[in-house]
């Protein structure tokens, strides 16, 4: 029955996405059979106030969109854990593990180290990030792959949403804020492509002074009709993420 339900859901999502979803789909996989680690990284100042008026990664737009998906997967028996992170500013990050309201504070460099440590070599690893968080997701994926003893695709899924370099795009250097993460060389991007089973990159150009771009090494690129500040709410990318979580996409 679970197989039938997931198949129907997947078919509906594919129709909804139309030609914007890659035409090749992986064989139906019951993702509840494999442990999964998910990391979600919000961008600069993405932390939003919670019910107690305290900044939290649980109330970011990314968290709001993925929470329902995670709850549905857990209800169907999926073995998964999730880490949510948001930047309160360029130099500080808030963290939550498994939707806990007990938050932890970290530096951006410490966030990358935590991400590498959180990755489980025996679990499917999925990384999702917007803006500075997209850069963080790429950096964590790269570090996990370089430290892994495994060959081939170490990262099951990488989703970058208008990724912006935290190192190159600063409040005093806006000229480096209008391209894919400038500190990633072609060699590093090629490494990421081969380290990731599936890499989807979404970007926009409506915010002329702050936007990413197509990354040729990604398996899938899509320019969305959005600004840098609301692209993480775009329903097309979340339909894509849901297919990815259920292991329905392949290059």
The model's pTM is 0.87
Find the mean pLDDT for residues 154-160. Answer: 96
* 196: pLDDT strictly greater than 50: yes
CATH number at residue 180: 3.40.50.1820
Domain assignment present for residue 15? The answer is no
Give which of 65, 67, 59 is closest to 85, Cα–Cα: 59
pLDDT at position 1, please? Answer: 44
Contact between 195 and 145 under an 8 Å Cβ cutoff? The reply is yes
Nearest to 196 by CA among 237, 154, 159, 163: 154
Residue at 7 is within a domain: no
- Residue 171 is encoded by which pair of tokens? 């409040």
Residue 20 lies in a domain: no
Domain count, the chain: 1
% the chain with pLDDT above 70: 85
Q: What is the mean pLDDT of the chain?
A: 87
Domain membership flag for residue 23: no
User: Does residue 27 fall inside a structural domain?
Assistant: no
In a domain, 110, yes or no: yes
* Residue 50 clears pLDDT 80, i.e. is over it: yes
Which of 28-42, 48-62, 85-99, 227-241 is predicted least confidently?
Answer: 28-42
Q: Would you say residue 13 lies in a domain? A: no
**By residue range, what is the domain housing residue 153?**
35-245
Whether 250 is in a domain gets the answer no
**pLDDT exceeds cutoff 70 at 126:** yes
């Amino acid at each position: 029955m679970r197989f039938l339900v997931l198949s129907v859901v997947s078919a509906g999502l594919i129709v909804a996405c139309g030609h914007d979803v890659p035409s090749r789909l992986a064989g139906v996989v019951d993702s509840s059979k494999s442990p999964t680690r998910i990391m979600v990284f919000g961008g600069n100042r993405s932390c939003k106030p919670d019910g107690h008026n305290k900044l939290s990664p649980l109330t970011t737009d990314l968290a709001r969109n993925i929470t329902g998906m995670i709850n549905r997967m857990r209800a169907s028996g999926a073995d998964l854990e999730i880490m949510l992170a948001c930047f309160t500013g360029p130099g500080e990050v808030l963290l939550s593990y498994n939707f806990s309201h007990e938050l932890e504070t970290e530096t951006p460099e410490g966030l990358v180290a935590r991400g590498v440590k959180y990755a489980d070599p025996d679990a499917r690893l999925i990384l999702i990030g917007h803006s500075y968080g997209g850069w963080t997701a790429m950096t964590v994926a790269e570090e996990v792959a370089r430290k892994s003893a495994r060959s081939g695709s170490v990262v099951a899924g990488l989703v970058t949403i208008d990724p912006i370099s935290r190192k190159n795009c600063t409040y005093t250097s806006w000229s480096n804020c209008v391209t894919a993460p400038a500190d990633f060389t072609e060699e590093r991007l090629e490494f990421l492509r081969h380290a990731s089973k599936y890499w989807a990159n979404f970007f926009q150009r409506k915010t002329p002074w702050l936007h990413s771009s197509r990354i040729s090494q990604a398996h899938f690129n899509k320019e969305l009709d959005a600004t840098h500040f609301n692209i993480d709410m775009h329903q097309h990318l979340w339909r894509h993420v849901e297919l990815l979580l259920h292991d329905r996409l392949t290059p």
